[in-house]
Structure 1
Amino acid sequence: MSVSTYLHHFFVSNLLTLYYSGLVLLGFLWSYVKNPFADPWAQKLRLEPPPCLTDTKYGVHKYIKVNNTKLHYVESGDPSKPLMVFLHGFPEFWYSWRHQITEFNKDYWCIAIDMRGYGDSERPDGLEAYDLKQLVEDVRDLIRQLGREKCVLVAHDWGGLIACRFRDVHPDALSALVVLASTSQEAWYHELWGSDEQRKKSWYVFFYRMPGLAEKLLRMNDMAAFDTVMRVPGKDTITTQDIECFKYWFGKPTALTPPINYYRSNFAYTLADKPRCERPVPFLYALAQNDAYLSTTLIDKMKNYYAHIEPTIIENCGHFAQQEEPAKVNSLIRNFLSKHKV
């Protein structure tokens, strides 16, 4: 990439970071003006987890050390059956796969992890701990530590970026790959700089680069951001109790910075392109029609990088697809796995 392109991306990225940070600061100021005696960062005390987080229908809670990091996971199903690993996105944890665990635990050994820095998993210090290479090796070591060489990998959002890179470097470890409302790092990068629509939808990626400010925004008004981004008017698949589960974990004092560090650690002004993946790994790629963060035009970019990809769009659905439309997503995954006899 030319020096001029690098400088252009550097200038625009930092300008957008400052711009969105300024808008957020104005929002903070307006909050004080409206009610100068209120504390917008006061939070409801959540000492006990909501009952659904310990509901045995979702499985057994366990811990495992992989790639020198202790991860928490929920295990459900028969360990003699094919392994299915779930990778959540931001801002989520294992619970975002609750509907898929109960659907697939009859036919697969389901493992839904809290990725490093999330939920009850270890939270390493420093940005380097959240580099994409480390996150990929967490998954590879997890599969080995579970005594397997292959798995069906099902991923969403940030989990999808990790899964796509895993597909690039460890194709032999995959029986099949399902990526929901996500993209590869390369496809997102090229769409970010080639599409005004995607750049606008990715505003938060630029904003998250500002140290400390994103954490304060997400904590405002008892973490109302979770209600705003996850609840869907007219749909009851994501309930108030579900939102309480997310607020329980992300409301802890050190819980927000490590997940946001995924963005900070992997942001780049330039990104080397990669060769097209020709290895025949079954790959279901599903974007949500109403996704507020990803443009459906990413499908064309993903087709350029992966030969064996089956793209689809989940209609009348937003970004948190597996939670918002669990029946649609479960049917989509099951039909895909059945088609490939996985």
Structure 2
Amino acid sequence: MNLSQPIPINLERGRFSYREGGDPSGRPVVMIHGWPESSYCWEAVAGFLKSGLRLIAPDLRGLGDSDRTEGASHYLKQALALDVIQLLDALGISEFQLIGHDWGGVVAQEVALAVPDRVSRLVIMNIAVINNLKGNTEVIEKVRSGSGKAYWYQHFMQTPALPEAMIPGAEAAWLGFFLKSWSRSGFPQDAFDEYVRCYRIAGTAASGANYYRTFADDARRWATTAGHIWPMPGLYIYGNKDHVIIPEYLNHIESCFREVRVEQVEAGHFLQEEQPEQVAAHLNDFLDKA
């Protein structure tokens, strides 16, 4: 399977873009990218997925080819989930299986909180499980016991006006630090070029930073989800060479789901591009095409 070129769509919440692929009459699978990527991040994985699936990959607000909306509140992850839900409503998709990586994994969880009856299966990749208060607390303790140097970019992104002043004109160098240095077996050049193109769209330095500027408000909301149990079957695919999403993020996640399996891939943070065939194999074993 291959994904389409970006498809623009105007909704009440704004102008968005998405890619589609697979069987138009197949079981819908919604695939949500993270930062600093776009819907293109699923292109390589899509090529290894089994038939019988309809793939929908949105560009989140502020990234890809979707709107660069001003104002940090638009980038609260609950708000981004409402964007995705409205897109799916416009496409006439009621029930779907849901995959999310990085910030897209958090948005996927917010979608599953908002419309749990519509999400039949949930896949999370290299990001925190938001209702895992115990495990996430252990992560914080582990990070505070060390230097925390791997998280420097998050503080940079939260600094008022600094990303807007320093990133424009240096997009390839900025993205290259993360996409290339965090990958263990090389990052595909076609994907890198696509993300640089999107990051050069005016306003992206601010909209990308807003994913991190809203983190404190997001975290306060997630603290209220402690005790929630995901009712749908879950799968966590972990790129186990990630320096930011450390192994402690996996602690206690079995207590957050009624049913969950954990699979590990020898890859860094961007596992869907570094090891697309292995990621697709785990998805093929988990997703339902009936």
User: TM-score band, normalised by the shorter chain?
Assistant: 0.7 to 0.9
Letter in 2 for 1:98: E
Partner of 2:243: 292
Residue 73 in 1 paired to residue 23 in 2? no
Letter in 2 for 1:143: L
**Which one of the candidate residues 175, 178, 186 is aligned to 2:123?**
178
C-alpha distance in 1 between matches for 2:51 and 2:154? 38
Residue 333 in 1 paired to residue 278 in 2? no
Question: RMSD value over aligned CA atoms?
Answer: 2.7
Partner of 1:33: none
Q: Displacement of 1:186 after TM fit?
A: 4.7
C-alpha distance in 2 between matches for 1:145 and 1:201? 39
> Structure 2 vs 1, CA of residues 66 and 194 (structure 1 numbering), >3 Å: closer, same or farther?
farther
Query: Aligned with 2:107: secondary structure?
Result: helix
Once the two structures are superposed, what CA deviation does each residue of 1:178-230 show, in whole Å capped at 9, x if it has no partner? 11111234548534533225955433323321022234554575521322322
Letter in 2 for 1:76: G
C-alpha distance in 2 between matches for 1:105 and 1:95? 18
> Structure 2 vs 1, CA of residues 247 and 309 (structure 1 numbering), >3 Å: closer, same or farther?
same
Partner of 2:157: 208
Partner of 1:302: 253
Quick one: percent identity of the two aligned structures?
26
Partner of 1:267: 216
Query: Aligned with 1:118: secondary structure?
Result: coil
**Which one of the candidate residues 222, 231, 235 is aligned to 1:280?**
231
Mean Cα deviation higher: 142-151 or 189-198: 189-198
> Structure 2 vs 1, CA of residues 99 and 136 (structure 1 numbering), >3 Å: closer, same or farther?
same
Contact 1:155–1:178 (8 Å) recurs in 2? yes
Higher relative contact order (CA closer than 8 Å, sequence separation 6+): 2
Letter in 1 for 2:67: E
Q: TM-score, normalised by structure 2?
A: 0.86
Higher helix share: 1
Letter in 1 for 2:271: A
Runs of at least 5 residues in structure 1 that lack an aligned partner in the other structure: 1-55
C-alpha distance in 2 between matches for 1:242 and 1:335? 26
> Structure 2 vs 1, CA of residues 221 and 264 (structure 1 numbering), >3 Å: closer, same or farther?
closer
Partner of 2:142: 195
Residue 246 in 1 paired to residue 205 in 2? no
Query: Aligned with 2:287: secondary structure?
Result: helix
> Structure 2 vs 1, CA of residues 198 and 293 (structure 1 numbering), >3 Å: closer, same or farther?
farther
Mean Cα deviation higher: 120-129 or 163-172: 163-172
C-alpha distance in 1 between matches for 2:132 and 2:55? 29
Aligned length: 283
C-alpha distance in 2 between matches for 1:136 and 1:324? 26
Contact 1:286–1:313 (8 Å) recurs in 2? yes
Q: Which structure has the greater CA radius of gyration?
A: 1
Letter in 1 for 2:260: I
Contact 2:48–2:276 (8 Å) recurs in 1? no
C-alpha distance in 2 between matches for 1:228 and 1:174? 35
For 1:46-195, what aligned pairs fall within 5 Å after superposition?
57-66=2-11, 68-104=13-49, 106-187=51-132, 190-195=137-142
Mean Cα deviation higher: 205-214 or 220-229: 220-229
Mean Cα deviation higher: 66-75 or 171-180: 66-75
Letter in 2 for 1:258: S
Q: Displacement of 1:308 after TM fit?
A: 2.0
C-alpha distance in 2 between matches for 1:64 and 1:103? 27
Contact 1:291–1:318 (8 Å) recurs in 2? yes
Runs of at least 5 residues in structure 2 that lack an aligned partner in the other structure: none
